[in-house]
Chain A
Amino acid sequence: MDAAAVWVTLKLASITVLLLLLFGLPLAWWLAHTRSRLKVPMEAVTALPLVLPPTVLGFYLLIMLGAHGPFGKMWISLTGHPLSFSFTGLVIASCLYSLPFVVQPLQAAFEKLDQHALEAAWTLGASHLRAFFTVVVPQARRGLLTAIVLGFAHTVGEFGVVLMVGGNIPGQTQVLSIAIYEHVEVLEYGAAHKLSAVLLLFSFVVLFIVYGLNRRWHGGLRV
């Protein structure tokens, strides 16, 4: 049962980060460069999950994704399955929950970007895509790494939203944090200890790697 929880957690976090990069990169780019009046409201909306209690976010998501909610209804008519208490629903919830942790570091990195270097790449014939991967990504790599790691770690650590939207279905929606909670509830302290230690170690190793890389990139390559 615990191995299933680890698997669900890793799968959820990986998919969430991938999706968030897909949507977060353009969103962060837009936020960093736009002069639109929509910028400030969009920034506020993006940051909402930072301050909302997870249960509030989870509650609204449950209403939206539930069998009678607008998205839930649409989803059922499209696929025949409900969104709430499913892995797909969990992915949607996690994306919203972890959005600021991906978008904000990216936005900060894009705002610091040397705009002239990007333009120089264009004048040298580089397509927008090539300029993005050869100039923007290397220059923003610290922000990119921070976004990936924070997005992943934050999804691994979520509890309230998962409980509200995903429930506790072993092998499907039961993630690590909920498995630990359940172990404690039925007084299986040994199993709770093991899982908690895994999470603790994981979090430390991830942060250690991030700080190490940031330091190296800062010193070694003279960025």
Chain B
Amino acid sequence: MSGLQARVALRRGNFELEVSLHLPPRGITALLGPSGSGKSSVLRMLAGLDRPHAGHITQGDTIWYDQQKKIFLPPQQRRIGMVFQDYALFSHLSVADNVGYGLPRTGRRAHVEQWLKRLHLDKHAEHYPTQLSGGQRQRVALARALATDPDMLLLDEPFSAIDVSLRQNLRYQLKTLVADTNCPVVIVSHHLEDALLLADQVGVMIDGHILQFGATQDVFMRPNCRHVAQVLGWHNFLPVRSIAGHTVSGAWGELFMNNEADVATAWIGIRPEHLRIATAEQAGVAATVMAIHQLGAIRAVQCGLKDGTQVEMHTPWDAPVPVAGSAVRLHLPLAYARALPNCVLPGMEHARQKAQAEQQRVHSSRSGSR
């Protein structure tokens, strides 16, 4: 089995989506992105619920979709398990009947019992979905999808219908459950924790395109451009005006980097938890403390730089912090500060070229009339 190979394109009004995916035969892949970035559309196209306008999808040795060969397998023939955002349980069927829906009649009961036991639902076999808690419903949806032994498991925002306080536990449960699954798993989410905890690899999706794809830790530590970093929880971006060797500078001051900064560098990005107040011997960027918010175990300190850029620093809840209004120097540890270019969206590039061509046309027609 060679896993999943897909390239799909979709147009809907002004929205253009174009995504390539190569997934290994097992392991969890997370698609992260803001709402409206098209990640759920990708999932629906993989499931066969939506039809791409162009491209191909091959899972293992089976062609699911090929525009040129005019092949389109409907969802019924793709052998997928899908967990919908709202779980989409059959409200008129009991938990056992929900789990057994996709199974052949022979051996159904034993198989259902096995799955109910595995997901600790045996006590609820005769209950109806409305009698269950959010977490139990999610387990029913998972059992229903996994019971058919699918070739691919698709999860659409699996935790969005669940109380924040319960999510972490359910993530652990899902991780152990899915670890035994012998098929590629794709999970769509806009929660970073889902990807960090569950995924082996992450794709960051913005505006219909995957801008970065790679091993989870790698992507989280080394985003390749500003918007990707933003999606991954990098809140702080210092605008860069000039680069000279190792030194990047802006109206906020300057920073000496470990490596020579790339000429495309437009921002210095740093996660809030990596910002520190500089000690006397450390280099630092001048800032003023503007506000301090207590966020449970951490404290968010908002600071303003010389040029007006606002940054946020997360410190342990009991770490001493200067009061609001005081002047501080902020330390950006070089291991964590990252030089970032602006993102180039294929769509944006296309628009830029079109604008340029348009400008040239106008220009040449003007000079022609002269």
Which residues of A lie under 8 Å from residue B253 when comparing CB positions?
A: none
- CB-based contact A222/B131 at 8 Å: yes
Chain A-chain B contacts (Cβ-Cβ < 8 Å), number: 68
Contact of A126 among B76, B79, B86 (CB under 8 A): B76
**Mask for B147-166, Cβ within 8 A of A = 1, else 0?**
01000000000000000000
Main SS of chain B's interface residues?
Answer: loop
Complex CA–CA separation, A125 to B148 (angstroms): 9
Which residues of B lie under 8 Å from residue A122 when comparing CB positions?
A: 48-49, 74-76
**Mask for A114-129, Cβ within 8 A of B = 1, else 0?**
1011011111111100
Contact of B80 among A123, A127, A222 (CB under 8 A): A123
B26 close to A (CB within 8 Å): no
A135 close to B (CB within 8 Å): yes
A-B contact pairs, 27 of them (CB 8 A): A116-B84, A116-B88, A117-B88, A117-B90, A119-B47, A119-B49, A120-B84, A120-B144, A121-B90, A122-B48, A122-B49, A122-B75, A123-B48, A123-B49, A123-B81, A124-B102, A124-B144, A125-B76, A125-B102, A125-B148, A126-B76, A126-B102, A134-B90, A134-B101, A135-B90, A138-B90, A139-B91
A223 close to B (CB within 8 Å): yes
Complex CA–CA separation, A134 to B78 (angstroms): 20
A1 close to B (CB within 8 Å): no
User: Which of the listed residues B85, B102, B128 has the most CB atoms from chain A within 10 Å of its own CB?
Assistant: B102
B82 close to A (CB within 8 Å): yes
**Mask for A5-48, Cβ within 8 A of B = 1, else 0?**
00000000000000000000000000000000000000000000
Within 8 A of A (CB), among B86-126: 86, 88-93, 101-102
Interface size class of B (residues with CB under 8 A): 20 to 34
Which residues of B lie under 8 Å from residue A119 when comparing CB positions?
A: 47, 49, 75, 82, 84, 88
Which residues of A lie under 8 Å from residue B80 when comparing CB positions?
A: 123
A221 close to B (CB within 8 Å): yes
Q: Chain A nearest CB: distance from B291 CB in Å? A: 42
B130 close to A (CB within 8 Å): yes
Q: Which residues of A does B touch, CB under 8 Å?
A: 114, 116-117, 119-127, 134-135, 138-139, 221-223
Contact of A117 among B74, B89, B130, B145 (CB under 8 A): B89
Complex CA–CA separation, A126 to B80 (angstroms): 12
The 5 residue pairs across chains A and B that have the minimum distance between CB atoms: A124-B102, A116-B88, A120-B88, A138-B92, A122-B75
Which residues of B lie under 8 Å from residue A125 when comparing CB positions?
A: 76, 79, 102, 148
Complex CA–CA separation, A121 to B74 (angstroms): 12
Contact of B101 among A116, A126, A138 (CB under 8 A): A126
Chain B minimum-CB-distance residue to A141: B92
Which residues of A lie under 8 Å from residue B144 when comparing CB positions?
A: 120, 124
- CB-based contact B75/A223 at 8 Å: no
Contact of B88 among A114, A221, A223 (CB under 8 A): A114
Complex CA–CA separation, A135 to B49 (angstroms): 17
Which residues of B lie under 8 Å from residue A123 when comparing CB positions?
A: 47-49, 75-76, 78, 80-82, 145
* Contact A120 to B92, CB < 8 A, known contacts A126-B76, A126-B102, A221-B128: no
Which residues of B lie under 8 Å from residue A223 when comparing CB positions?
A: 91-92
Which residues of A lie under 8 Å from residue B86 when comparing CB positions?
A: 116
Q: Chain B nearest CB: distance from A199 CB in Å? A: 35
Complex CA–CA separation, A123 to B84 (angstroms): 11
Complex CA–CA separation, A125 to B85 (angstroms): 19
Chain B minimum-CB-distance residue to A121: B101
- CB-based contact A127/B76 at 8 Å: yes
Q: Chain B nearest CB: distance from A57 CB in Å? A: 38
Which residues of A lie under 8 Å from residue B128 when comparing CB positions?
A: 221-222
Chain B minimum-CB-distance residue to A115: B88
Which residues of A lie under 8 Å from residue B93 when comparing CB positions?
A: 138
Complex CA–CA separation, A221 to B76 (angstroms): 28
Q: Chain A nearest CB: distance from B304 CB in Å? A: 46
Q: Supply 17 further A-B pairs (C-beta < 8 A) apart from A120-B89, A123-B76, A223-B91.
A: A116-B88, A117-B88, A117-B89, A122-B74, A122-B75, A123-B80, A123-B145, A124-B102, A126-B76, A126-B102, A127-B76, A134-B101, A222-B91, A222-B128, A222-B130, A222-B131, A223-B92
Q: Chain B nearest CB: distance from A186 CB in Å? A: 53
* Contact A117 to B91, CB < 8 A, known contacts A123-B75, A123-B80, A127-B76: yes
Complex CA–CA separation, A216 to B12 (angstroms): 43
Complex CA–CA separation, A122 to B144 (angstroms): 13
Which residues of A lie under 8 Å from residue B88 when comparing CB positions?
A: 114, 116-117, 119-120
**Mask for B58-81, Cβ within 8 A of A = 1, else 0?**
000000000000000011101111
Chain B minimum-CB-distance residue to A137: B92
Q: Chain A nearest CB: distance from B112 CB in Å? A: 13
